[in-house]
Amino acid sequence: LAKTTQPISMDSYEGQEVNITCSHNNIATNDYITWYQQFPSQGPRFIIQGYKTKVTNEVASLFIPADRKSSTLSLPRVSLSDTAVYYCLVGYNAGNMLTFGGGTRLMVKP
Amino acid sequence: DGGITQSPKYLFRKEGQNVTLSCEQNLNHDAMYWYRQDPGQGLRLIYYSQIVNDFQKGDIAEGYSVSREKKESFPLTVTSAQKNPTAFYLCASSSTPALSGNTIYFGEGSWLTVV
């Protein structure tokens, strides 16, 4: 199972773009990359998922280079409500154990 | 998250007591998972089940037990053998198999405290 490495924490200010990178050097061919957001005492919430290149939805973009050994979650114009822990999950969801890394604590300041 | 119900939200356990956390999903998902989260830490996998009547140990299964008698239900029992059970417990589910990546959906979690 692909192990992921993320920065422990990041600080930003309202209105800025935030990029969080996740390393997953031993990603397998069938593995997808998924990002989740978690607020205190709540379950993680799906943000975005991708396999290669770039994926964009209404809340974020996900950039995946050709070798797929890393990925970057991009949050445009963050607000205070984006303060949360962000997890990168790599795995092919067909019965594999899905193991989360430690996540990145994002603090958005006014 | 929508479709996965965990109960109770808060639970207190006395020393030496077994307690069971409930998890029900109406998403028709085959796979279900239990994670433990200690304050300020990431999620650690306790058990997972790919199909009814089958389940596998995760990274920290000792002191826990599960059952999967119905597709919708995956209860977790925290036994007296779990010496430090105070934590936030998260249940999740996903559909399998996959031609493309499937996302995991989480419940809102249950806090267990030993008193």
Q: pLDDT tens for residues B32-77?
A: 999 999 988 888 899 999 899 999 999 899 999 999 999 999 999 9
Q: Does A102 touch chain B (CB under 8 A)?
A: yes
B17 CA to chain A: closest CA distance, Å? 24
Give the contacts of B17 (CB within 8 A, at least 6 positions apart).
B80
CA-nearest residue to B56 within chain A is A97
* pLDDT tens-place values along chain A, 110 residues long: 567 899 999 999 999 999 999 998 888 888 888 899 999 999 999 999 999 999 999 999 999 999 999 999 999 999 999 999 999 988 765 445 566 778 999 999 99
B70 close to B52: Cβ distance less than 8 angstroms: yes
CA distance linking residue A38 with residue B16, whole number of Å = 32
Residues in B closer than 8 angstroms to A41, CB to CB, are 88, 109, 111
Average pLDDT over residues B23-37: 94
> Torsions phi, psi of A81, nearest 5?
-75, -5
